[in-house]
Amino acid sequence: MKPVSKIAEAVRASTTLAVDSLAKQMKADGYDVVGFGTGEPDFQTPENINLAGIEAIRAGKTKYTPSAGIIPLRKAIAEQLKSEGLDYDYTQIVVASGAKHSLFIALSALTDPGDEIILPAPYWVSYYEMIKMTGGVPVVVSAGEDQNFKITAQQLEAAVTNKTKCVIFNNPSNPTGMLYSRDELKALVDVCVKHDLYIIADEIYYKLVYDGLEFTSIASFGDDVKERTLLINGVSKSYAMTGWRVGYCASNKQLAKIMSNYLSHSTGAPSTISQWAAVEAISGPQDTVETMRLEFLKRRDYIVDRINAIPGVSCVKPEGAFYVMMNIEKLIGRTLGSKLIENDDDFAVALLEMALVAVVPCSGFGAKNFVRWSYAASMENIEKGLNRLEKFISE
Ligand code: PMP
Ligand code: GLU
């Protein structure tokens, strides 16, 4: 048989989803696994949003919609952005099946074969694969723990070539949980403007910021920056709606049209029912967002204190999202249980198999010798998981 697509064959499975499936499989097989693998709020979708979905079904809102999404949802998103100081017409908002899919069509809209896309590391695993899937070349710029996992403008400048098309920023970041300040972003954005680069700004965790720190949207740095920015967001994280699959991209009109065309030939549009539920999420009462944020904050403080009290591992305190990167460098070369730990993959497998705790190795995120904990898990499970980690390492 003829070979399959080389591009497709080179795509690796998502490590976040792989860990989640493995943990779920082990649970189904009767193991008492505690999962910190996937970044999915453990809260129920708020009831007003559920009811909006049910009401949509009852009202017969179950047919195809325009490919870029229903107008009430696009208008609700534009209104929300306006209330946050970002002026977009609803025709500039393109709704897709999750922020993941929005990112995919954003990259498809920008990338010609061989275009370089700059990706700050540690990065969310799917960016790297999506760049390859859309024919681009990922150019990784790494920031270690010593720089709080944030790249500098000098590093960005050094990575730009005449093939660079775009930079992806994820703020607050998955997996690091770190937040770029307004000044830090300004310096990075200036480099993008200087070299005429597009910016994909994934701000899906923007409502989850702690310690009184202020979130700045990249699109807020003036018209020149806004024109070149593809702002990605969605309802999954802010409203505990991961399974509803609604995300969006706000961009200039040319790009919005291109993305809408892509959608019209691929998914069509996200589920109509989910879109109506998302209208309620975005324009209905917002109090649950803050309730969830405060709960995540408590969990963050607990998990960070516990990790830093366990000899052999450590972490810096994340400022947003719901992830923490645990440094396991000191465990490399040690035998835990019966397993020699040579890297973060070994550690994650050993922790899962021997201590029944699922975390994600960060080599898939472009950072060696770290594992990522998602603290979108109940306090009870967080406590249980950390007790198991402590016991596992000390034995
Ligand atoms: N961006 C980042 C940084 C994420 O962590 C996620 C989590 N899945 C997504 C985008 C995609 O979210 P969704 O497709 O559920 O909207
Ligand atoms: N973004 C989440 C994570 O990093 C959800 C899983 C995924 O879509 O990759 O775990």
Tell me the pTM. 0.96
Q: CA 284, 271, 74: angle at the middle one, nearest 5?
A: 50
State residue 23's pLDDT score. Answer: 87
State residue 21's pLDDT score. Answer: 82
State residue 374's pLDDT score. Answer: 96
Cα 100 to ligand 2 centroid, rounded to whole Å = 9
Task: Pull the structure tokens for residue 249.
Answer: 């991209």
Ligand 2: does its nearest atom lie under 6 Å from the Cβ of 39?
yes
State residue 18's pLDDT score. Answer: 77
State residue 22's pLDDT score. Answer: 83
State residue 395's pLDDT score. Answer: 81
Task: Pull the structure tokens for residue 203.
Answer: 């701000």
Three-class DSSP labels, 282-331: HHCCCHHHHHHHHHHHHHHHHHHHHHHHCCCCECCCCCECCEEEEECHHH
- Which ligand 2 atom is the nearest neighbour of the CA of 38? 10
Strand order in the sheet with 323-327: 323-327, 370-374, 360-361
Least Cα distance to 283 among 66, 48, 88, 60 occurs for: 48
Phi-psi category of 284—alpha, beta or left, where left has phi over 0 and alpha has psi -120 to 50?
A: beta
Provide the residue-wise pLDDT of the chain in tens; the chain has 395 residues: 999 999 999 998 887 777 788 888 898 999 999 999 888 899 999 999 999 999 999 999 999 999 999 999 999 999 999 999 999 999 999 999 999 999 999 999 999 999 999 999 999 999 999 999 999 999 999 999 999 999 999 999 999 999 999 999 999 999 999 999 999 999 999 999 999 999 999 999 999 999 999 999 999 999 999 999 999 999 999 999 999 999 999 999 999 999 999 999 999 999 999 999 999 999 999 999 999 999 999 999 999 999 999 999 999 999 999 999 999 999 999 999 888 999 999 999 899 989 999 999 999 999 999 999 999 999 999 999 999 999 999 98
State residue 49's pLDDT score. Answer: 98
State residue 279's pLDDT score. Answer: 98
Cα 109 to ligand 2 centroid, rounded to whole Å = 23
Cα 244 to ligand 2 centroid, rounded to whole Å = 14
Q: Give the closest residue (by CA) to ligand 2 atom 1.
A: 39
